[in-house]
Structure 1
Amino acid sequence: MTDKATKVTRKHKHLRVPVLPEEEAQIARNAKAANLPVAVFLRNIGQGYEARSILDNRRIEELARINGDLGRLGGLLKLWLTNDARTAEFGEATIRALLSKLEATQDQMHGVMREVLIPRSHR
C-alpha cells in the first residue's frame, strides 16, 4: 500500500529554485495578480506562457483611449446630423470617411477586448 505523497513523487518531478525572501514575495504577488497558485504560475512562466494579471492596466488604458476616440468621432457625427453650422462644409465624402473611421475604431476595440478576455490556450 502506497500513500498519496509517494505516488505524486513517482509521477511528478519537483524542481527546487532558491530565491531570496523578497523574490518569493514578488513571485507570490505576481501569481495572485494572475489569479493563479504559485506553482501553476511558475510552471506557466517556465513553459513560455505570458503572465496575465486579472486587470491588465496597459490594455485597460488602451481601451479607454479607443473609447475616447469613439466618443469624439460620435460627437462629430452628431454635430453633422443636427445640421450644426460648424459642420456645414462636411460633404458626403467626409461623412463616409468618419463612418469608416468609427468602424475601424470599433474593430480595434473588439480586437483588444478579445485579447483580454479570451485565454491564450483558446486562440
Structure 2
Amino acid sequence: MDDGKQVTRKSSPPIKVYCLPDEKEQIEAQARAAGLSSAAYLRQLGLGFEVRGILDYEKVDELAKISADLGRLGGLLKMWLSNDERLQQFSEAQIEKTIKVAMERIEEGQEEMRRVMQTVLMQQR
C-alpha cells in the first residue's frame, strides 16, 4: 500500500551491531580512514562494496619526508643568502654553484612530490 511517504534510510529500521569498545574504536578508525561515517562504512561492507581509504598513509609519510627535505634546503638557501659573515669566505662562483645546486634539488623534490601525489590520485580512481 502506497501512502505517499518516501522511504529513506532515516525512516527505515536500523540494524544494530553489538561490539566491544576496542572493536568499535577500530571500526570508527577504519571509517574515518575511508572518509565515511561508521554507518556508511558498515553499510558499504555489508552490501559488498570495496571500501577504499581516502589516504595512502605510506604515501603521506613519503610526502612529509620530501617536504621536510625541501624545508631544510630552503633553510640552507636562506642562510646562504642572508649570512654575510659566512659568505665572505667563499668566492662568488662558489656561492652561485651552491645556490644552483640547492635550487636543482628543490626542483627535484617538487617533481618527486608531484609524482607521489599522482600515484595517490591514480589509486583513488
Coarse TM-score class (shorter-chain normalised)? 0.5 to 0.7
Q: Which residue of 2 aligns with 1:114?
A: 118
- Deviation (angstroms), 1:31: 8.0
Q: Which residue of 2 aligns with 1:74?
A: 74
State how many pairs are aligned: 96
Cα distance between partner residues in 2 of 1:100 and 1:120: 31
Q: For residues 75-90 of structure 1, what are the structure 2 equivalents within 5 Å? A: 75-87=75-87, 88-89=89-90, 90=94
TM-score (normalised: structure 1): 0.52
With over 3 angstroms needed to count, the CA separation of the structure-2 counterparts of 1:93 and 1:52, relative to structure 1, is same
Residue aligned with 1:91, SS = helix
Q: Which residue of 2 aligns with 1:17?
A: none
TM-score (normalised: structure 2): 0.52
With over 3 angstroms needed to count, the CA separation of the structure-2 counterparts of 1:110 and 1:40, relative to structure 1, is same
Equivalent pairs: percent with the same residue? 41
Q: Which residue of 2 aligns with 1:97?
A: 101
Runs of 4+ with >2 A deviation: 29-44, 83-91, 117-121
RCO higher in structure (CA 8 A, sep ≥6): 2
Cα distance between partner residues in 2 of 1:85 and 1:110: 37
Any unmatched runs of 5+ in structure 2? 1-25
- Deviation (angstroms), 1:86: 3.2
Residue type of the partner of 1:59?
K
Cα distance between partner residues in 1 of 2:115 and 2:107: 12
With over 3 angstroms needed to count, the CA separation of the structure-2 counterparts of 1:61 and 1:119, relative to structure 1, is closer
- Deviation (angstroms), 1:84: 3.7
Q: Which has the larger radius of gyration?
A: 2
